[in-house]
Amino acid sequence: MKVGYIQTSPFFGDKKRNFKEIEKLTAKLRADLIVLPELFATGYTFISKKEAESLSEGLDGQTAQFLKDLSKKASATIVGGFIEKDKDKIFNSAMIISGSELLGVYRKLHLYYKEKLWFVPGDKPLKIYEINGIKIGIMICFDWFFPETARTLTLLGADIIAHPANLVLPYCQKAIITRCLENRVYAVTANRIGRETRGEDNFKFTGESQITSYDGKVLSSAPSDKASIDLVEIDIEKVRDKKLNEFNDIIYDRRKDYYLS
């Protein structure tokens, strides 16, 4: 299975320009799974809820159509972040698309910093999407900080976790190694680069998008300051064996009776 990430520096609020940049980067791209950053088409640093709402979309909006086109061109399943509008609510969401079909939408459970001022916390359970026998789970950015997210996706059967992100804290890339190791899953973290200074906030995004193996090895790491794409071949069968050795299985060895929920 060939999986990859796209790392860009979005122009705030300019969806068409951001789409064109990705089209140039992916002109000859072919893969099974491609992950784009969180809010890749809009930028991140909003100054009001009204501004975030103005960039929101339904499930048949510009971003969905762009991802459907990209999915068909690359013959790939695509996961990418967007601002989802649902009646009078907006969510920090990611859609998963295969060909011309929208398979589903994940709404970020753990909102970071001022996201709590703009977005409603995710209200849908974590879910697995099975495409051609491969089981894909989704989490968004700050969800990594909560081990329960990756563990729940693992218990649901995830082979690989798609992780759109706009990371500003310096910890995630190293922590994802532990998330993959403790769950024996692959992860594709698609981060962004650049700086956004708007209102009172001045965010510098860390880049270093990463493909991480079930055994804790970093299979790909992007630069911290350059637009980048990369693809890696992975062996899904490896993650379906949760044994560390002949005596230890990371799922069956859990002592659930002694854990707090």
Helix axes 15-25, 62-74, angle to 10 degrees: 10
Write the burial class of residue 236 (CB in 10 Å: 0-12 exposed, 13-18 middle, 19+ buried): middle
Beta 128-131 vs 101-107: how paired, if at all? unpaired
Beta 186-190 vs 128-131: how paired, if at all? unpaired
Nearest by Cα to 29 from 77, 63, 76, 69: 76
Catalytic positions: 38, 108, 141
Contact 6, 26 (CB under 8 A): yes
Using alpha carbons, list the distances in angstroms from residue 131 to 27, 135, 158. Answer: 23, 7, 11
